[in-house]
Structure 1
Amino acid sequence: MHVLIVGGGGREHAIAWALSKSSKVDHLSCAPGNGGIAALAQCVDIPATDVDAMVAWACENSVDFVVVAPDDPLALGMVDALEAAGIPAFGPRADAAIIEASKSFSKRLMEKYHIPTAKYQTFTELEPALTYIEAQGAPIVVKADGLALGKGVIVAQTVAEAQDAVRSMMSGHKFGDAGARVVIEECMTGPELTVLAFCDGEHLVPMPSSQDHKRAFDGNQGPNTGGMGAISPSPNYTPEVAKRCMEEIFLPTVAALRAEGRPFHGVIYFGLMLTPDGPKVVEYNARFGDPECQAVLSLLDSDLMDIFLACRNGTLDQVDVRWKDGASCCLVLASGGYPGSYAKGYPITGLEEAGQSAVVFHAGTRLGENGSVLTSGGRVLGVTATGPELNAAIDGAYAAASHIHFQDMFFRSDIGRVWNPNA
């Protein structure tokens, strides 16, 4: 099969890496791809959000199957457009991807179908939102309704901070149209973790749990980022918690979307908070998380292409989805200044040495002259190691990363440690 992957980050590199092992895949393409993906796939210079150009290229190049990985093209209806052109695709249609594209929709869905989540109110006008925050007090959570590159959530510690966040979204247009509507939630407490799950519209198969680390600096300090590293599984996700999540959250979500006439095919990302009252949904995403994807797919012991086909065709219950024993850790190496402004174009060294003991997924790289690899993003690399237990995986990721260097490189030194009670 000729498979096209849409996207160009670490998540897409992990998907390409897993699909390259499939006996069913004989040719991989990726649009736009990056410097690491180029070693596995033909990179095509088409933006991930250019639906018309992507569909046209897939038709002209006899693509058999498309994996739409990022949130924006899913929300824009790329899967709908591909299927209309006769090309099967992995990922939800736009009417199901709305569980990520609109936080107010997902909150209403959970409310209607009694899926546990934080109490909330939605606002489209500034003054009522400010008044509500004043009445509720802090801490409180402010969310831009739409897609905001994973940065549209503010956990405000004071009323003033929350009101400033609302003003920046609604009046300051910090996130464009995504912040024209805001969702204001109670601030839940407890360990936070992620469970990704394959879904075929009716059946659901959870993957191993994972834990992303959003803050830029050690000790969960600094600004929120797209993710500075991830571990899998989470030490907090016990069998008892898993059972409650399946019964109270996972299966009800799939059933709710089906009942609404929006069957979900693809990966549902369940962002969860283990509150004193039990597990609750923090957010849904309509695709693999990044860098959770790198950590979780490193543990997959089945053919990913078989799973993708089953999710699209409604036969997930007929596939044996297996996982390796042990644990994994993905350590993100970032450009100085991220998540703010940062320079690009610095040469990267040590990739071959690091790759001898870990898998180095490229997130923000491009190829330079003479095959050199250069930085081209904020999150540059995801050094991912596995081990028989979590500490071994963490140690392996840091040992491999010690070989890699580029100007102004930084990373957190406590990935996995802040959630690992045995560290």
Structure 2
Amino acid sequence: MTLMKKLLATAGVLGAAFVMAGHANAAKISISCGAVGQELALCQEGVDAWAKQTGNEVAVISTPNSTTERLALYQQILAAGSSDIDVFQIDVIWPGILGNHFIDLNEYMADEAKQHFEAIVTNNTFEDRLVAMPWYTDAGVLYYRKDLLEKYGESVPETWEQLTATAQKIQEGERKAGNDKMWGHVFQGRAYEGLTCNALEWVVSFNGGSVVEPNGDISINNDQAKKAIETASNWVGTISPEGVLGYAEEEARGVFQSGNSVFMRNWPYAWALANSADSPVKGKVGVAALPTGSTDGRSAAALGGWQLSVSKYSENPELAADLVKFLTSYEEQKRRAIKGSYNPTIADLYKDEEVLSANPFFGDLYETFTSAAPRPSTVTGSKYNQVSSEFWQAVHASLSGSQNADQAITGLERNLKRVKRSGW
């Protein structure tokens, strides 16, 4: 059994689908893909098309949905110099952590890279090497039940205070009407990278800084940041279920899509699923920018998104790079946008009528996607995973009630200073 298969089996996520092109001399490569929502199916379809076109053979490897678990798995595979995975799907925050293990894609698609959002290409450039090509971008958005807002005479909330009040009003009304499962708001509250994204949005929207600033200063211990975390902590058990403390993206979507939440914070991928033929809320869902916190705050959406990288341990780097070029192309990004609501990284696609017809909010929220708040991964480099872990653990402690916001943030600052002592 190869190293990768041992690691995947240990993680309980061994799942490889082989695409056979039927050519005797077909080369064999592999790609790791996530499986949140329609991710795996869309990846498989794209790979199928490339395999048919080139006559090669590809294994699609399903990896953990949790970004935290996936990063740990990747680090083990890459640290061993394993050639088992040729193309890695990596998070927008990982180029600085994993970049040493990937080839320079400028050698294969420098011209194509110019079509993509410059900020993401810059993010994916590590030590002057393009270590990843943008595949799709992401930013947190607010989903809401259009029908329920209309029923109760409420408008889309512009502040978290308004969201809290509207969520409480509709939750109580719907429960009195017989739906005792109704909640006001669901989000990603599990102690993992997704909570870092949610909490960063809260903090930035309250004008509480970016946890660690671009110059390396630790800024999280301030009154506005504490107010942001306290606001969210007060949701748990009131407008959000206690179970939200264990929710990742799919758990939150499950509650909202079943018709049991007024609001939901999630990524754009949930749009296509919420409006699928068998969705109980099809046609009843709206999407808006996330609320602001304070009067001098702003709507803040955490920058997300995924990229494709080629392992420097690959035995077929040119072939792997060709697959990356195909999967990140205009036509393939257009297909994924229309079918799965995955945000393109090519600006011209936001003017495409078919893309906008399938995802009307792509045009309305264009600024949200192009000016999203980055996590402090660039400034903290290889220490980012520790920084994020300290952040989400502190926030989770406040959400769960084991500490108040002041205690959690004060302790977080102390821990971040300890991490910084060895440099970032």
TM score, norm. by length of structure 1: 0.28
Query: Which has more radius of gyration?
Result: 2
Richer in strand (by share): 1
Structure ranking higher on relative contact order (CA contacts 8 Å, 6+ apart): 2
TM score, norm. by length of structure 2: 0.28
